[in-house]
Structure 1
């Protein structure tokens, strides 16, 4: 799998209890007393439940939605407040990971209890978590055969679910929608963005999805190019020697060869060999998966999408920027899987009339509360951000800074507005 979170058994057990409380809130099903008393009422989402993607079979995507905590700081009324949609990676990992471990309003701390998250992404915006594809987390796949095998089918289900969600509240129809996520969602996000624009072309303005932009964190988007970067990246960071670099490059070459021949399953296996070798050499980048009752990451979904893993969706990103949809690519500075070098390798090959201007654009220093937070480079609709002192899970490693980053990108302020530095007052910032 592309991504599994470093959750320990006790933490995962508490996660199950918390998710059970959310389910109870949304479905009014009987709930054991210990679970009901472990989740603060103020931490419950305002909406949660299921969005049906196939009425015939009942296959559905599970969702949880938190309204903006301070919605009027960036909009005159709630109907203008953006909504962020978060998609987890995997393939097949639940977005409840991000909800309760990364960027939701309440997160699990080291004492195995819930606490308010100062870096929550719903400070100024609505925040919607989707368990995608069907079969992931609490989402329902009526049969394994119905689980998507490619990004077009993933996008079709997501589009139906998003339209259903928008129909839940009259105010949702006018609110800008931003699709965000990390890791393997580096494929989901361009796919749903591409699908939304394609569908919008055939619909009257009042029935279109109001797509504001897409943000990909530490994403796997163009695997053939990205898999070839691990050796040189680790070597330049001083994590491996020349002999190890040569071994990694042999494994990378094998993976690329399978891609070129269209042997997608073996290409995925070969990439896994590269990542395993990198982990063994460096002692880093290990992302273990533990599973009790609730599957944090679904092996069934992972297997369904195995042949999709090494297929590129770069053309979808190109389509979005050509249509002037805002695109943010951000990576943790320390990520060894889908980090800065990996992303910039495919960005340089984008077929877009603005790519040369983007590559020559000035790289701005980005500060939060007077401290260096990272770097931002932008040209027209494409932005790239490097988040300092963060790895594969940027919102976990840099909660407040990731919150400020996403706010500034959406609102086009600070370094995302061309300013060299920014100092943000963390409490009540606008």
Structure 2
């Protein structure tokens, strides 16, 4: 990816305009309504969270309070959603997947009865800076690795919690999908590291992390594509061998630590698979057309919509669903693993949920299963040997749940990469039951699980 001059110029212009308007503003409560944005669809709060007292860079957010909390507001769980990319806006998750109102083809909003803020608070962050409506004061401040991503997220989350005393003690669950398979472990890991050094009242009340169709251990995941496509019946053996060769080229580049070239090589693998299969999208092999998430950009480039959300950018600013500038900054980061961060979370007893839509060929069931089995965690043998339970919602099979202690892995039937779009009700049931530890997502009888390793057979 190359940084486009137009994007860079726009970035700097918008930064100047942005901070002339909201130098001291960190949040905005919304009360106005518009034709495209009905009053009832407005966020509870929205605005900007500065990442540092010495920087004008800020993360844009929209927050929706729980509609029908089942506990006092001060104890109601708070979900944080991070989109993938790298460089894709969390407004995609907000208005196309799991927010309280979703975009229609006519660029209007309709209620989402399967939204994730039914009983939880829901916070969307445009991450990293430079993504969506978030502001990067300089190109150099845009993160190039997960440590920098986590530093900015930590600053934004702690600033958000300080906006209202009711947020202080609420349990926080960080969620996200796709490339957020790196963001989520990174901020979770960072919070554990920071909390160990902070006083009680300064700590972030992290209760768990959830990753949907996540890219977490890229090399291990990438080398599964050939076998996966072959056994699903999408390619023949000759094509499989061609894909294997392309995968090994990427592995060799990783071993030589040629990170950017390795990312390019992975892209070639996926492009090759796309060309071989002729599918509408690798994100869901059953779809006849790709996801229509481009509607988000059309919607958010309407002036009155931006005003309703409290966005402060110049009228010439063009909102992008995914930022090429941010994607370029993290290009070399893509093939680097954060598996050790997930291992750290589990070792510390943190609750971890992985979930995948059954039909995703890019970062789906096979890809996640591959890296999970390689984790260095004392519970991995018990997890691998744990029962894979049939999970039902309203009496119908929704998928399968496998867990051991604080680690849970879910396969959701009939879903692809953007799972909440494909299976809204089941996705809502999954996240609610996991957070509340209900049904199959509650405690299991560990004494009934075999401790014999599958690797010994």
TM-score normalised by the shorter chain: which range applies? Answer: 0.7 to 0.9
TM-score, with length taken from structure 2:
0.83
**Helix, strand or coil for the counterpart of 1:93?**
coil
Per-residue deviation, 1:161? 0.2
Q: Give the CA deviation at 1:109.
A: 2.5
Q: Distance in 2 between matches of 1:383 and 1:308?
A: 27
Q: Equivalents in 2 of 1:51, 1:125: separation in Å?
A: 21
Q: Does 2:52 align with 1:54?
A: yes
Q: Deviations over 1:85-114 (max 9, x none)?
A: 000000000000000000000001244321
The reply to whether residue 44 of structure 1 matches residue 39 of structure 2 is no
Q: 1:116 aligns with which of 111, 117, 126?
A: 111
What corresponds to 2:454 in structure 1? none
Query: What is the SS of the residue equivalent to 2:223?
Result: helix
Structure 1 equivalent of residue 406 of structure 2: 381
Tell me the SS of whatever aligns to 1:102: helix
Q: Is residue 140 of structure 1 aligned with residue 135 of structure 2?
A: yes
Shift of 1:280: 1.1
Q: Which residue of the partner structure matches residue 381 of structure 2?
A: 356
Query: Where do residues 298-313 of structure 1 align in structure 2 (5 Å cutoff)?
Result: 298-313=323-338
| 3-state DSSP of counterpart to 2:98 | coil
Q: SS at the partner of 1:156?
A: helix
**Pairing 1:314–2:339 present:** yes
Q: Residue 63 of structure 1 aligns with which residue?
A: 61
Q: Secondary structure at the match of 1:367?
A: strand
* Kept in 1: contact 2:73–2:166 (CA 8 A): yes
Q: Distance in 1 between matches of 2:383 and 2:53?
A: 44
3-state SS, counterpart of residue 174 of structure 1:
coil
Residue 57 of structure 1 and its aligned partner are, at CA, apart by 3.1
Please say if 1:181 is aligned against 2:176: yes
1:417 is displaced (CA, Å) by: 1.9
Q: Deviations over 1:201-257 (max 9, x none)?
A: 011222210101000000000001001001111111111111111111111111111
2:156 to 161, 166, 170: 161
Matches for 1:167-316 after TM superposition, within 5 Å? 167-284=162-279, 285=281, 293-316=318-341
Partner residue, 2:96: 101
CA RMSD of aligned residues (A): 1.9
8 Å contact from structure 1 (residues 364, 419) kept in 2 = no
Show CA shifts across 1:304-359 (max 9, x none): 00110000000000000000000000000000000011001000000000000000
Whole-Å separation in 2 of the counterparts to 1:105 and 1:323: 33
CA distance in 1, matches of 2:28, 2:45: 11
Query: Residues 251-297 of structure 1, C-alpha deviation per residue, up to 9 Å, x if partnerless?
Result: 11111111111000000000000111111111233577867721110
1:391 aligned partner: 416
Q: What secondary structure does 1:54 align onto?
A: coil
Shift of 1:119: 1.1
Aligned-partner Cα distance in 2 for 1:117–1:283: 32
- Please say if residues 364 and 418 of structure 1, whose CA atoms lie closer than 8 Å, have aligned partners that are also in contact: no
CA distance in 2, matches of 1:102, 1:41: 20
The residue that corresponds to 2:370 in the other structure is: 345
Q: Paired residue for 2:395?
A: 370
| Unaligned runs of at least 5 residues, structure 1 | 2-22, 421-430
Residue 130 (1) aligns with residue 143 (2): no
Secondary structure of the equivalent of 1:372?
strand
SS at match of 1:48: strand
Residues 2-25 of structure 1 deviation map (CA, whole Å, 9 limit, x = unaligned): xxxxxxxxxxxxxxxxxxxxx9xx
Q: CA deviation at 1:27?
A: 5.9
Deviation at 1:395, TM superposition (A): 0.4
d(CA) in 2 for partners of 1:37, 1:389: 35
Structure having greater relative contact order (Cα 8 Å, sep ≥ 6): 2
CA contact (8 A) 2:58 2:135 kept: yes
Partner Cα separation in structure 2 for residue 325 and residue 302 of structure 1: 30
Pair 1:403 & 2:398 matched: no
Distance (whole Å) between structure 2 residues aligned to residue 412 and residue 147 of structure 1: 37
Q: Is the 8 A contact 1:364 1:376 kept in 2?
A: yes
Match of 2:442 in 1: 417
Deviation at 1:147, TM superposition (A): 0.2
Distance in 2, Cα, partners of 1:286 & 1:96 = 22
Offset, 1:299: 0.3
Q: Give the Å deviation of 1:384.
A: 0.1
SS at match of 1:316: helix
